Structure 1
Amino acid sequence: MINFNGELLFKENVQLSINNRGFKYGDGVFETIKVLNNKVVFWEDHYFRLMASMRMLRMKIPMEFTLEFLENEILKTIDTQNKSSIFRVRLNVYRKDGGLYTPKTNKIDYLIEVSESNYEMKNTYQIDVFKDFYNYSGLLSTVKTNNRMVNTLASIFANENELDNCILLNERKGVVEVTNGNIFIVKGNVIKTPALTEGCIKGIVRKKVIEIILKNKEFTIEETAISPFEVQKADEVFITNAIMGIQPITNYKKKTFTTELGKKLNNSLKILQIAGN
């Protein structure tokens, strides 16, 4: 079942018009959310990021769009699915139909899709750099809009070259993120991740991992610019997103990385997910 503006519908009964602004102009934002044992993981963080994104895009936030309301809508949709302990939820918000570049209204529609999630950490995970197009730095790039063309092309490139993922670069040729998440590199006791000013998504799990590292006196964390050369020289590299949690990278070009820290951090993250913090 699909939740369309609060109404539960079978997929075949969901009808979006040819004037849908998410389709025509990418005029929408979305959150990808993990639900574990009927608990919406890191929900407050997702909710406040969604609200900030809608405000940035000048969407009119409905009065009923409270933290509790949207959480209940997610769980209501999950109740219609086959029994499972882990779900992947996509909450899409887009401006209502009408207008050309200038919309007729800033009011919104929303759609909630749910599917079972069975991601397991891979023992080998190979990445390379995608150089054909840049993910331009700037505040808008930190928002999860429907416009994900660079991510799509990089994913096609990865598939054609038998890679698991690709690193995206900005116009300064600095590392931004991977196609579906944030990236961290480890060198000695220093852990680096691209700063938001580099153009990376303001990832929820990125934030949680930074919080975990800050509590660990053994390591220091830096949000900074990172070059592809630094990735190749790193001791360890891992990527993060809401569904996979943490996935260690084993291979980048001819370099092989260790995976010990990434696995330890993933165990700490799992504890947070269960606790709901």
Structure 2
Amino acid sequence: MINFNGELLQENEASLSITNRGYAYGDSVFETIRVINGKVMFWEDHYFRLMASMRIMRMEIPNEFSPEFLEEQIINLIKENNLQDKPVRVKFSVFRKEGGLYTPEVRDIEYFILTSEIEHSFYTLNEDFYEVELFKDHYINAGLLSTIKTNNKAVNVLGGIFARENNYNNCLLVNEKKSVVEALNGNLFLVKGDRIKTPPLTDGALNGITRKQLVNMIKKLQEYNFEEVSISPFELQKADELFITNVIVGIQPISKYRKKEYTNTVAKDLLAKLNAKARLG
């Protein structure tokens, strides 16, 4: 079952028009959410990012879109799909109603919610070999639009194809200033000694939910010094650790970039703390 504008439908009963604005113009935003045994992880952060994304896209936010209403829509769908006792991946997509060409006729929105079961209730550290490379064919543009999750993901798609063609597990994306911004599917953190860095949102980095959780957490830890600062490609091979974060995998350590191989000690420590925070809500 899926939720389409508040109505529960079988997947084969739901359809989008070929003139859907999310498809035709990328006029859509979305949230990828992790739910554990019927509990939405970091729901407040997801909700406020979704509202901010809709405002940035100048969408009309329906009056009923309260945190309680949207959370209820998610939980009811999970129950309908008999996933209330499972770890679940939720995709909540919002798109502007049809009409117009580049300029929309209206600012009102529609939405759908999809659910799928995932493997682990809490984050586990994937210590399999994980190699990355820079993707330099196209750039992430530093600016507000790059910080939100929209359907405009051509750079990520092309980077994914490049990675697969060259047997990399992932690619790191750069902006027009040649600073490293993020990975294809998450934010990037760099560790050197007791210093941890991540690119600032002003460089075009996604305003990631797990990124936010880790930033707030690291700032409170005395054993680390934290910076939100631009990262040059030259710094990557001098780092002790690199890791990628997103709400589904938590923390993914990078094993190798070019000739440099990395440890995962800090990633392992932070993942344990992230799991503890998730359990506490």
TM-score normalised by length of structure 1: 0.97
CA contact (8 A) 1:193 1:223 kept: yes
* Matching residue of 1:107: 108
**2:275 & 2:86 partners in 1: Cα distance?**
14
Alpha-carbon deviation of 1:80? 2.0
**2:173 & 2:245 partners in 1: Cα distance?**
14
Alpha-carbon deviation of 1:122? 2.4
* Matching residue of 2:232: 227
The answer on 1:121 being equivalent to 2:125 is yes
CA contact (8 A) 1:36 1:85 kept: yes
The answer on 1:61 being equivalent to 2:66 is no
**Aligned runs of 1:128-167 on 2, under 5 Å?**
128-167=133-172
CA contact (8 A) 2:30 2:50 kept: yes
CA contact (8 A) 2:125 2:271 kept: no
| Paired residue total | 276
* Matching residue of 2:201: 196
CA contact (8 A) 2:2 2:113 kept: yes
CA contact (8 A) 1:36 1:274 kept: no
Query: Deviation per CA, 1:103-141, whole angstroms, max 9, x where unpaired?
Result: 110000011010111265322211110011001111111
Unaligned runs of 5+ in 1: none
**2:134 & 2:81 partners in 1: Cα distance?**
38
Alignment equivalent of 1:216, drawn from 212, 221, 231: 221
**1:238 & 1:81 partners in 2: Cα distance?**
33
**1:54 & 1:220 partners in 2: Cα distance?**
34
CA contact (8 A) 2:125 2:268 kept: no
- Any runs of at least 4 consecutive aligned residues in structure 1 with deviations exceeding 6 A, and if so which? none
CA contact (8 A) 1:5 1:110 kept: yes
**2:112 & 2:277 partners in 1: Cα distance?**
27
Alpha-carbon deviation of 1:159? 1.0
**1:180 & 1:134 partners in 2: Cα distance?**
15
Q: Secondary structure at the match of 1:8?
A: strand
Alpha-carbon deviation of 1:194? 0.3
The answer on 1:70 being equivalent to 2:73 is no
Query: Deviation per CA, 1:203-227, whole angstroms, max 9, x where unpaired?
Result: 0100100111111111111001101
CA contact (8 A) 1:133 1:150 kept: yes
The answer on 1:247 being equivalent to 2:248 is no
Q: Secondary structure at the match of 1:162?
A: coil
CA contact (8 A) 2:147 2:205 kept: yes
Alpha-carbon deviation of 1:261? 0.6
Unaligned runs of 5+ in 2: none
**2:75 & 2:164 partners in 1: Cα distance?**
34
Q: Secondary structure at the match of 1:112?
A: strand
**1:3 & 1:262 partners in 2: Cα distance?**
36
The answer on 1:168 being equivalent to 2:173 is yes
**2:116 & 2:277 partners in 1: Cα distance?**
22
CA contact (8 A) 2:25 2:102 kept: yes
**1:143 & 1:235 partners in 2: Cα distance?**
29
Alpha-carbon deviation of 1:82? 4.0
